[in-house]
Amino acid sequence: MSILYVNRTVRIKTTQNIISEKSPVEGLPLRQWQIDIVILGPSGDEYPAYIFEKCIYRLHPTFRNPIRTKTEAPFALKEKGWGEFTFSISCFLLQGAGEVEFLHELTFQDEVYYLDFDIKVPYHVPELHRVLKLTGPVPEVVKPADLTYKTDMEKWIQKLLASDEELATNVVNKIVHHPAVAREIGKRPLDERFVVDLRQLPETLLGDIGDYILNEPPVK
């Protein structure tokens, strides 16, 4: 299996300041804060993170509607509060090419600060390949003329998305335990962030996964 990746740096920016509104906690002023998600170019310039189709913020459960979904770059989240906390942000690559999760720490030491995360992004997906070029060089993709798939992927991907947790877990296990995938995973540091698109998997593995999903009874 040959997985085609390029490196990109995702920057999560936070701006915050004290506001005049009364805080519910004595001694802790109320603050307005905003988070933006951008991509760094080769020279460190900031670009909209068009590689993502949406980002989901999972705030502290004390917030009203703590799960927030943003679908337009820079995926800005504006809020106010008095407390510092750590929360996760899940960003989904274009055309179902994978998901990356970040842990972000909201602090009030600086009015403006950022955290940078290095990720590996698959570039074989056409739309993703196009927007990756906006933030740096991307190799061209050479597709074998005789590449075919055993299974109608769209059909079983839709069933997988509607499935229960057990089916999804079994599919993940099939993928990570496949020898070709396991070799790729073994080459990488444990703390490295990367994603694998289903369309990058070996054809034999795709066929096996498709047969397994389509032969499972539908979710009730």
Considering 14-18, 207-211, 214-218, the range whose residues carry the highest mean pLDDT is 14-18
Q: Which of 8-12, 47-51, 96-100, 201-205 has the lowest mean pLDDT?
A: 201-205
In terms of domains, do 172 and 116 share one?
no
pLDDT tens track for 12-24 = 999 999 988 888 8
Indicate whether 172 pLDDT > 50: yes
In terms of domains, do 177 and 71 share one?
no
Mean model confidence pLDDT for the chain: 82
Q: How many domains does the chain have?
A: 2
User: Mean per-residue pLDDT for 102-113?
Assistant: 93
Inside any domain, residue 83? yes
Inside any domain, residue 138? no
Inside any domain, residue 191? yes
Distance CA 5, CA 7 (A): 7
Determine the structural domain holding residue 60 and report its residue range.
5-122
Q: Provide DSSP, 18-80.
A: E-SSPPSSTTS--EEEEEEEEEE-TTS-EEE-TTEEEEEEE--TTSSS-EEEE-STT--EEEE
107 φ, ψ (degrees, to nearest 5): -130, 165
Q: How confident is the model at residue 150 (pLDDT cuts 50, 70, 90)?
A: very low
Inside any domain, residue 134? no
Distance CA 181, CA 200 (A): 10
> Of 220 and 195, which is predicted with more confidence?
195
Q: pTM for this structure?
A: 0.65
pLDDT of residue 10: 95
pLDDT tens track for 124-137 = 778 888 999 999 98
